[in-house]
Structure 1
Amino acid sequence: MGIRLGIMGAARIAEQQVIPAARRTADFQVTAFASQTPASRKRWQDQFPELRAFSDYEALITADEVDALYIALPNALHVSWALRALAVGKPVLLEKPAALTAQDAEVLRERANQSGTVVMEAFMYQFHPQFQWLSRALRSGLIGSVRHLYAEFAFLLTHPKDIRMQPALGGGSFWDVGCYTVHITRQLLGAPQAVFARRIDGPTGVDIHMAVQLIYPDKTASLRAGFDSADVQGVRVVGTGGELGLTHPFRPDMGEAQQWHNQTVDVVPPADLYGLELRAFLAAIRDPGGLGQTYLNDLVEQARLMEAVIRASQAEALQSF
């Protein structure tokens, strides 16, 4: 039997991706879930009758048949429930964004270290072979010195009652999909020196469009996130000796993913995206002081830059970082 995983929140990502991925590996066994919404709980009970159902999140956390938690609640609830899991020594795979402030991210890291376990932010794209190819290509100097990176992730969302449209729940396109563009830029280029951002808010008060400029000593990055356009995602890196990129960097399972270098285009072979994420989570659980600490540090640095972009968008002025 693998690690017994409890699912907190009846989210589609858990239903359609994480549970099927866990079923494909012997490393994890999903044993229970919790939802405070009766209709969602009933639907999951019908779909997953083998799982123990809870209406109370605390009961799920303390259940004997749960060794680790996957938390897929609205963004504003991530930190509080992750801290409860850490308090009883259970590792957490935490949906992005893990924290809405750098201070909360620091608290997560501190409590994880105190408990001797891990919190890993669920940026699954980074474990896909196409991202590994992109990262290796840049490190090898395939396109010379990097001068500019462009990353975008957007789709059309118009339903005002969607939780991603609710300010009190940590809604907004930047938190939902812009976090991917920030994360991949950090992974490839590191932290910038300065940040500039402009936002367009929708009728509910959350951003539905965010445009970001990250300034480095010898390069720049342009990022875009939105709820206001047709589905689009991509990353393009331009250097002194060429360019390369990915057509579907964040969700390669959504369409025909391609990786390209100058005029050479290759179709990306399918990979078990969420299975790879679960295996990385398992490796972090087994090595909390090494790999686990790496993911905790990444979580903090991600929150720091996300918060800096939000501040820049509110000030509409260049912010040092």
Structure 2
Amino acid sequence: MSTPDDGLTFGVLGTAKIARTAVVPAIAASDHSVGAVASRDPDRAERFAADRSIPRSYGSYDALIADDALDAVYVPLPNGLHAEWTKRAADAGLDVLCEKPLAVDAEEARTVVDHCADRGVTLMEAFMYRYHPRTERALALAERTLDDVRTVTATFRFPLYDRPDDVRLDPGLAGGSLMDVGCYPVSLVRAVLGEPDRVYGHANDTRDAGVDTEFAGVLEYADGRSARVASGFDTQLVQRYRIDATNGWIEVERAFDAPA
């Protein structure tokens, strides 16, 4: 275990692209460090570790969470595995940074939050955009300059073509555009307007994949405010949100994965 002055030592469960290209480099550039990585393929874990100067690699997730030198884990596994491995890491006394979405539905999310609280570990869902300077400035401007926010519109779409075996199209692992990228617009709406009183959604499976490849949703509030969210795999990249008030609006492009 690390001391507070040393920062946290993370283990990484899996070798997903988001871990390779974003989170592991971000941890390495911070006051924290990556101490181990695990994959179901031991050779892949070993290569991942060697390429990034990570001290230890494991051929199973169980072996990593048993590593006494770790303080926390990052979980970039497929959506359907987030809850299980977050709980198992918590059982080992490890703090958890779990890739979004935290769980496959609200009930499962509550069980994960309660489980981590019962074990006394810190749990964070990895919505990077919430801490990005662009988002922080937009939300601060909205609070300071917009008198009465009435509607929010938020969209995240990107092209997922010619990849029928992509995990994001696997219903058994909680794939679909809402779970993959639609969670960003929903998160943004909740940050601006709070928890809705009613929600509606329409999902369209354009690939016969068993998951939504296009999604549209409405969030309504008892005081008359509302929001519209959209996600999809069938268009070119669209990432934006607009906050409309009685005295003006704020619109943000490249809203959810802009470089720092």
TM-score (norm 2): 0.93
Match in the other structure for 1:292: none
Distance 1:96 1:60 in 2: 21
CA contact (8 A) 2:42 2:58 kept: no
User: By how many angstroms is 1:17 displaced?
Assistant: 0.9
Deviations 1:106-147 (A, max 9, x none): 22122212111111100110111221112122222x132112
Aligned residue for 2:18, secondary structure, equals helix
User: By how many angstroms is 1:41 displaced?
Assistant: 2.5
Shift in CA distance, 42/30, structure 1 to aligned 2, threshold 3 Å: closer
Unpaired stretches in structure 2, ≥5 consecutive residues: 1-5
Match of 1:188 among 187, 192, 199: 192
Match in the other structure for 1:151: 154
Aligned residue for 1:135, secondary structure, equals helix
Match in the other structure for 2:55: 51
Match in the other structure for 1:90: 94
User: By how many angstroms is 1:45 displaced?
Assistant: 3.8
Match in the other structure for 1:127: 131
User: Counterparts in 2 of 1:284-299, with a 5 A limit?
Assistant: none
User: By how many angstroms is 1:20 displaced?
Assistant: 1.1
Distance 1:132 1:45 in 2: 34
Distance 2:197 2:33 in 1: 43
Match in the other structure for 2:219: 214
Deviations 1:29-65 (A, max 9, x none): 1010001135633541441344311011011001122
User: By how many angstroms is 1:2 displaced?
Assistant: 2.1
User: By how many angstroms is 1:183 displaced?
Assistant: 0.4
Distance 1:220 1:117 in 2: 35
Match of 1:165 among 163, 169, 186: 169
CA contact (8 A) 2:37 2:49 kept: no
Distance 1:230 1:245 in 2: 19
User: By how many angstroms is 1:15 displaced?
Assistant: 0.9
Distance 1:102 1:220 in 2: 21
Match in the other structure for 1:229: 235
Distance 1:198 1:102 in 2: 18
For the pair 1:70 / 2:74, whether they are aligned, the reply is: yes
Distance 1:94 1:181 in 2: 18
Match in the other structure for 2:64: 60
Q: Specify the code of the residue in structure 1 equivalent to 2:155.
A: E
Match in the other structure for 2:108: 104
RMSD of equivalent CA atoms: 1.4
Moved more, 164-173 or 214-223: 214-223
Q: Specify the code of the residue in structure 1 equivalent to 2:227.
A: A
Question: Which aligned runs of 4 or more in structure 1 are off by greater than 4 angstroms?
Answer: none
Deviations 1:295-314 (A, max 9, x none): xxxxxxxxxxxxxxxxxxxx
Identity %: 37
Unpaired stretches in structure 1, ≥5 consecutive residues: 254-270, 272-321
Distance 1:76 1:176 in 2: 11
Count of paired positions: 252
Aligned residue for 1:151, secondary structure, equals strand
Q: Specify the code of the residue in structure 1 equivalent to 2:26.
A: A
For the pair 1:3 / 2:8, whether they are aligned, the reply is: yes
CA contact (8 A) 2:42 2:57 kept: no
TM-score (norm 1): 0.76
Distance 2:75 2:27 in 1: 15
User: By how many angstroms is 1:246 displaced?
Assistant: 1.0
Aligned residue for 1:195, secondary structure, equals strand
Distance 1:191 1:116 in 2: 26
Q: Specify the code of the residue in structure 2 equivalent to 1:222.
A: R
Aligned residue for 2:30, secondary structure, equals coil
Distance 1:155 1:13 in 2: 16
